[in-house]
Amino acid sequence: MKVKLAKTAGFCFGVKRAVDMVYEQLEKNEGASIYTYGPIIHNEEVIKDMEKKGVKVIREDASLEGVKKGIVIIRSHGVPKAACDELDKAGMICVDATCPFVKKIHTIVEGAGAKGEHVIIIGNPGHPEVKGIVGWAKGPVTVLQTVEEAKKFALKEPKPVCIVSQTTFNYNKFKELVEIIREKSYDISVLNTICSATKERQTEAESIAQEVDAMIVIGDKHSSNTQKLFEICKNACKDTYYIQTLDDLNSNQLRSVETVGITAGASTPNNIIEEVQNNVRIIF
């Protein structure tokens, strides 16, 4: 009986940095009103712990009117430029916890728009990271997520095209969509902005899933990178299970298997991963 835990499972650099910044603000500014603009990361357990310590979440669609002035920590996914301007106007003290890799994309699309280029973002249009990136574009911008959308894409008039990606997008799908756009013979520049840690996590997860009888993917249901991990693992191992915490794990499903692989999304705390791993070992 064997349990194989992915080395890349758990907090990535950007997520750990953002979470640490919230707790640092709580420690340095005791008694102050501390907010995060949107959930700081996609993990309910982490958000609940912060709320217990007094951190409030400002919804993206909420008005700041009547909100007590204080410290607002920009989430790891980033926000549109207009949101930053609104917070400044409201007199909030902003602490930017945007992942540096996401921040780099903001700079790229802002610069591309200023040069008159059409920006294509390959990613999920409903994801907060993508919404934030769109909000930094100074000119026309298109978000593409599927093969069908890429095939339908067409410019009304010729102009240079700059292609970037959501940091947690599936690397193989990104390449596929880029190739479809290349066939249209536009003047394009492609910047693979998928986080290297994301690619490593996906590659390792797929490799483990191919070797085991069952695979467990741990992460919040709203986590884009965890959803991608589940999709990749499910393709490699039909008995793949997506859980948020140990409470979601049905141990009966694992009793007849000899090897189990475990990976976790970039927003999953180590204590949850360890709890699942230890419980699986007990089953065996």
Helix (H) or strand (E) holding 161: strand 161-165
Q: Name the nearest CA neighbour of 13 among 80, 90, 102.
A: 102
Q: Identify residue 32 by its one-letter amino acid code.
A: A
129 tagged catalytic: yes
CA distance 39 to 15: 12
Q: Where are the beta strands (DSSP E) in the chain?
A: 2-5, 34-37, 56-58, 71-74, 93-96, 118-122, 141-144, 161-165, 188-190, 214-218, 240-243, 259-264
CA distance 112 to 93: 29
Q: Which of 24, 129, 157, 179 is catalytic?
A: 129
Contact 209, 240 (CB under 8 A): yes
The upper half-sphere exposure of residue 202, i.e. CA atoms within 13 Å in the direction of its Cβ, equals 22
How many residues are recorded in the chain?
A: 284
- Catalytic residue list: 129
